[in-house]
Amino acid sequence: MPKAIRIHQIGGPEVLVLEDLPRVDPGPGQVLIKQHAIGLNFVDTYYRSGHYPTELPFVPGGEAAGEVIALGKGAKLFKEGDRIAYAGPLGAYAEERVIDERALVKLPKHISFETGAAMMLKGLTAQYLLRRTYKVREGDTILVHAAAGGVGSILCQWAKWLGAHVIGTAGTEEKAKLAKRNGAKHVILYGSEDFPARVRQITKGELCAVVYDGVGKATFPASLDCLRPFGMFVSFGSASGPIEAFDLGLLSRKGSLYATRPTLFTHTADRKTLEAMARELMHVVSKGHVKIPVHATYPLEKAADAQRALEARQTTGATILIP
């Protein structure tokens, strides 16, 4: 029987349990996939801890790459043997899984399963942030929080290729160096520096067109002070805790700002949009404009250790699980 990690109760990493699960045949419009690599993402810890409630028990994870091994009735987008990758519904921490074929995209042969698993959720997130939420243009100055993290490292590379001036923040000197290698022209240590003051200094008072913030509570509302009038604050994660209710009048007082909290799956719910986003991601990766560094690999049964490292901020770039 194929193995999977299941969660029977919310809690710390210790609730991740490796189990044998019976193979399930794909239903109408579904496919069965054998997974070769699984992406690890901070959002996985939100489901495990109950920050994002879901029905118990469940198999965590929403990103992987592998190959199609069986088709359900009416499934027609793929054939057996096709290489695929996805950022989709829960159930990725498994050797095999059944999934709606509309959640999948084809993975080119020149992109490895490991890269495919590492890039889908984070890469598609970067795509909708840079290309759909605020469309970054040449000459824009942008601020990327956690610039050495999984999404942050992709944002920096992609934004630099688009011609933006990238300011990043990081928690340590080591991560600051990594962020610079990924394209951030300036990096601020937000734990020890007044980052709005540094942004104002770096930009000579011009400030930023957009702030991309996956950190949350620890960087808000200070992020608003980094924006020029009519700038956009984009919150896409809450690694330090959620941003709680705030006075909307802040946005007017700080320069008629815009604020949004988008999610990837609102964008990818439309199949044509998903395909277009994936094509653009595959293009920048294939051409080398964006590199997807896999800095850590864990066997599936060590998923708890992987999540501990993630929550302790001991990871940079991408971490994957190997079934």
- Three-state secondary-structure class, residue 240: coil
Question: Which pLDDT tens digit goes with each residue over 72-117?
Answer: 999 999 999 999 999 999 999 999 999 999 999 999 999 999 999 9
pTM score: 0.91
Question: Which pLDDT tens digit goes with each residue over 142-158?
Answer: 999 999 988 999 999 99
Contacts of 25 (CB under 8 A, 6+ apart): 32, 70, 72, 98
Kindly list the distances between the CA atom of residue 147 and the CA atoms of 17, 19, 37, in Å, as whole numbers in the listed order.
Answer: 32, 36, 24
> What's the confidence (pLDDT) of residue 172?
92
- Provide the CATH number for the domain formed by 138-261 in this structure: 3.40.50.720
Radius of gyration over alpha carbons of the chain, in Å? 20
CATH 3.40.50.720-classified regions of the chain: 138-261
- Provide the CATH number for the domain formed by 3-120+271-322 in this structure: 3.90.180.10
pLDDT tier, 163 (very low <50, low <70, confident <90, very high otherwise): very high
Helices 150-161 + 173-181 axis angle, to 10: 40
CATH 3.90.180.10-classified regions of the chain: 3-120+271-322
